[in-house]
Amino acid sequence: MQKLNQLGLELISMKQELLNVNHSEVVRKALLFHVENMTENKLIEVDTQVELTNKDMLLDDFKTYLMAKPSYMKTLEELRGEYDALRESILEKMKTDIDFTSHSDVERENLTFIQTFELDVEWVKEYFGVADVEVPKLVKENGFIAKFAVLRLNKLTSEFLKSSVEKHDLVEVKRGEHLYNNIETSSYCLDLIYTIKVEHAENELNHELIASYMSDTSNAINQYVVSHLT
């Protein structure tokens, strides 16, 4: 993901031109005049002007210099907006009824998609054939359903990931570390986490491949878990 903002990119372009030994002296003076104007208009700092016009500073070193300056970098909000657009593009191409939650992790430069397996109250009543009055003691924290969910959901998802999920160049799939309780629904849940590096998602040609893999995998593991819980 390009992290430099428009000003930063303009300065990179200026540096390239200033390092171009094929430019005439007239062109070089015009470039230096433009740089001086940028400094006078407070678009750049004096130290940036110095490094920009320094013939001994190479382009890569200058880029490293700029990336240490917040004024030449996109804000977290700007980057998150770009991440979100990539994430939504992938979601739009998904071919599954699985309800994914997702978020953009700018700090780790990842897009994360989460498939959740949930043992809710209705499932408990149907699977164990118990009356409503018996449910609260079953679904209480550290109760029978919690222990059942830990053992069964962990086992089923681990089995599937080990035997039926092929590694993918663009998507990492792993099980959430812990089972957790959804207090609002009195459900016990386990997440399957799909992680995509944003450098892979930047290429729009990858979106179909990513969406297809996640769709196929989520459908298959959901069918596997449901069939072994009924």
- The pLDDT tens digits for 32-59 are 999 999 999 999 999 999 999 999 999 9
What is the value of pTM for the model shown? 0.85
Cα separations in angstroms, 225 against 33, 189, 211, 228: 68, 13, 21, 5
Question: Per residue in 63-96, pLDDT tens?
Answer: 999 999 999 999 999 999 999 999 999 999 999 9
92-108 average pLDDT score: 95
The confidence score (pLDDT) of residue 56 equals: 93
**Tokens 């995509």 sit on residue:** 196
Q: What pLDDT digit, counting tens, does each position of 150-193 carry?
A: 888 999 999 999 988 888 999 999 999 888 888 888 788 999 99
Q: Quickly count: other Cβ atoms within 10 Å of residue 218's Cβ.
A: 21
- Residue 86 and residue 196 in contact, taking contact as beta carbons nearer than 8 Å: no
Q: Across the strands, what pairs with 113? A: 102, 194
Cα–Cα distance between 104 and 156 in angstroms, integer? Answer: 28
pLDDT value of position 120? 83
Tokens 């992290």 identify what position?
3
Instruction: Please report where in the chains the tokens 């819980």 appear, as a residue.
Output: 229
Tell me, what's the pLDDT at 1?
83
